[in-house]
Amino acid sequence: MMNGKEYLESLRDGRTVFLNGDKVDDVTTHPAYRNSARSIAQLYDALHEPVTARILTAKTDEGHTTHKFFKASKNATELLEARDAIAQWSKLSYGFMGRTPDYKAAFTGSLGPYSDFYKGFEDNAKRWYEKTTRDVPFCNHTIINPAMDRNKPLHENKEVFVRTVEERDDGIIVSGAKMVGTSAALTNYNFVANYSPVDLGEGDRSHALIFFVPMNASGLKMISRQSFEETAAKSGTPFDYPLSSRFDENDAVIVLDHVFVPWENVFAYNNVEIANGFRSKTGWMNRYTFHGCTRYAVKLDFMAGLLMKATEMAGTNQFRGVQANIGEVLAFRNMFWAISTAMATDPMEGPNGTVLPNSTYATAY
């Protein structure tokens, strides 16, 4: 596993990032990204601090030390410990960073148990499961097609969306755009898939893809939105912008211009069934809602405390109406913690001796 310094160094890899039409040379020093990068670096440092490491890390079957949510859970106890690991990381941003490295572990942590789903690429799924548990990389995902004329069928926007343009003995060449790459400029890999069904018609399956690509791949470009962090730096101080100055998860459009993807990074190729089904059939929904519910519970801890402190300072904390309103926030806080606990302690059976967070409670969240 990386520590914070190694994480920051991993971002200095020649990646191509554009902000406001200008190319960013180093995201670890640029005022639009540097504080958020340091916030993520704190997460990686926490994996190595003795006190927090006990909450955050565990051993895999292969003997690697990993974040507890990066590996598949085998029972309710392990799921509850994974929940607590998610919460521990989330507390470092008060719940305001929702796409931290453990969010994508909601997907990678199921690659091992569900490797058989990825027909023809089963070994790739197993290899990436071991790789991500061992290295604990920061991955983003782009699974939405850019907004085009929604009245047109997919094949009429074919040239814009990510598709295979060439097949080679050692891999495929892909081109097209995807979104929304949250924190993409600060990640190690981009996971590309399709959130909505792939149906080109006329036998065209070039969009039916699932793959990983490193962020410094030749031909990969990131086009960032406006930076809240940079605005905070220019408009005031961190005291004026205590959250956006440190926790801006800058979104980006990912443009792939004839990018080479080796076969070992591919999970689906020209396979509409797998491309359409991975989200609902591999436990990802169970796991990403588990992460989201836990992160939101941490955020409500912060919001409840902030409201209580603010009303105490204003002298309104004894007003009955104020107390009732804060009580409603506390009720939501208690409910989300309870839902995350129930998702862990009443799990659903997964493949190969694993368990998944309960999806019924996930829908309540």
| Residue 161: count of CB within 10 angstroms of its CB | 20
For residue 152, pLDDT beyond 70 = yes
Number of Cβ within a 10 Å radius of residue 365: 18
One-letter amino acid for residue 245 of the chain: S
Residues paired with residue 212 on neighbouring β-strands, in sequence order = 191
Grade residue 195 by pLDDT with cuts at 50, 70 and 90: confident
Q: Is the peptide bond before 180 cis (omega within 30 degrees of 0)?
A: yes
- Measured CA to CA in angstroms, residue 228 lies from 29, 34, 79, 103 at distances of 16, 12, 35, 21
For 153-162, 213-222, 283-292, which range has the lowest pLDDT when averaged over its residues? Answer: 153-162
Going by pLDDT thresholds of 50, 70 and 90, the confidence category of residue 27 is very high
User: Is residue 96 pLDDT above 90, yes or no?
Assistant: yes
User: Is 301 in a helix, a strand, or coil?
Assistant: helix
C-alpha torsion sign, points 198, 199, 200, 203? positive
Q: Is the pLDDT of residue 197 over 70?
A: no
% of the chain at pLDDT higher than 70: 98
Distance of CA 321 to the CA centre of its chain: 39
Q: What confidence category does residue 322 fall into, taking pLDDT thresholds of 50, 70 and 90? A: very high
Q: Is 249 within 8 Å of 182 (Cβ atoms)?
A: yes
**Which of 138-142, 212-216, 274-278, 338-342 has the least mean pLDDT?**
274-278
